Amino acid sequence: MDLLGWVTINKEALKILYGLIITIISLIIVLRTHKLYRISLHQGIRYFRNAFFFYGIGFFAKYVLESLAFIFQIDVIFIQIISILFKFFLVMAGFFLLYSLLWKKIEASKEDYPSSLFHPKISIFYLMTIIIVILDHVWLTHFFTFISQIIVFTLASIISLVNYQKNPQRQFLKFYFIAMVLSLIAWLLNAFIALYFQLNSVISISIFLINTFIFLLFLYGVVKFTNK
């Protein structure tokens, strides 16, 4: 049996494995940065953690719960709800990641919100995310999610490149820029297969591998810079 055939047969198991890997990486990132945030109360760390908290929930719902629901043939409405939740958490995570790079230019130093998950500036992202998810759901498409994330990661790539050029001695800024460009490529590929191919396994696996690499890159950075 060729590799593609093996992948096709074990598709659901591989999706669960993929979901678990991303969820565990996200969980480790959230936990490892908890102490840094608790001590510094730095808003940037807070938004960065929120991004991975949302990625963790989203990927767990989509690739673990949805696959289990499919295997155990649970009601199709449950799968639809998970799909909507996945989009919501994924889009919000992208916004949080972008905002963690931008917050200094947007929030005044006097602003001190008791919660980083709910405050007036973040509520704009919630509103945009809800609109994106509703539009996708009503028109049975992924178009609005793709467009939003392509814009988010284009901006994040530009900002991280500028950060790296300003501070080249900070070695992880280069990896951060690479991670953002790879994320942009993954979203462009996602949009490409959704528009021109239906469930192309080779491209889907490539996206899974790129995403895993991006999350591992972040994990590497977080572990490296949170160690004493």
Interface positions with another protein (CB under 8 A):
33, 35-36, 39-42, 44-45, 47-48, 100-101, 109-110, 112, 159-160, 163, 167, 170-173, 176, 221, 225-226, 228
- 195 Cβ partners below 8 Å, 6+ apart? none
Which of 33, 65, 30, 22 minimizes the C-alpha distance to 51? 30
CA 196 from chain center: how many Å? 23
Residue 144: partners with Cβ closer than 8 Å, 6 or more residues away: 131, 132, 135, 136
Which among 90, 99, 106 is positioned nearest to 183, based on CA atoms?
90
* Least separation in angstroms between CB 128 and another protein: 22
Q: Of the two residues 33 and 148, which places its CB atom closer to another protein in the complex? A: 33
Nearest distance in Å: CB 207, another protein: 24
H, E, C per residue of 48-78? HHHHHHHHHHHHHHHHHHHHHHHHCCCCHHH
Least distance between another protein and beta carbon 90 (Å): 20
Q: Which is nearer to another protein, 39 or 199 (CB)?
A: 39
Residues 20, 15: Cα–Cα separation, whole Å = 8
What is the nearest approach in angstroms of another protein to the Cβ of residue 126?
A: 21
Nearer to another protein, 64 or 156 (CB): 156
Is 7 or 155 the residue whose CB approaches another protein more closely? 155
Tokens of 11: 């598709």
Looking at beta carbons only, is 3 or 41 nearer to another protein? 41
Compute the least distance from the CB of residue 163 to another protein, in Å.
Answer: 4
